[in-house]
Structure 1
Amino acid sequence: MPKSTAGSNQGDSHDTCVICLSSVTERAITSPCNHYTFDFVCLVSWLKQRSTCPL
């Protein structure tokens, strides 16, 4: 399940979403693997199609 961490200091604000390859604007973290290189909207869309981490 994604968790939004907008405004947190985790990672660089110029990270690229590994799903859409654009800048991450609202970071999401996967659980239980804790990968955090996703934009929240992209991860939600991904999880509607598949129940696995994109990485």
Structure 2
Amino acid sequence: MNDSESSRLALLRFLERVRERDLSRTRRWIVHEERRQAEQRVGQARRPLAPTF
């Protein structure tokens, strides 16, 4: 394998690591947003009804 092939492979491996890190971060954001929405639904369900006059 010549230098350009090995450096290309190294760059592709680096790109792979960056993309995996980005995907992991995105998945954490999704979990956080799902929890936030679930907490919001629970809060709305527990809110007392407005009085009717």
TM-score, normalization by structure 1: 0.26
Highest Rg: 1 or 2? Answer: 2
Structure with more relative contact order (C-alpha pairs < 8 Å, separation 6 or more): 1
TM-score, normalization by structure 2: 0.27
More strand by share: 1
More helix by share: 2
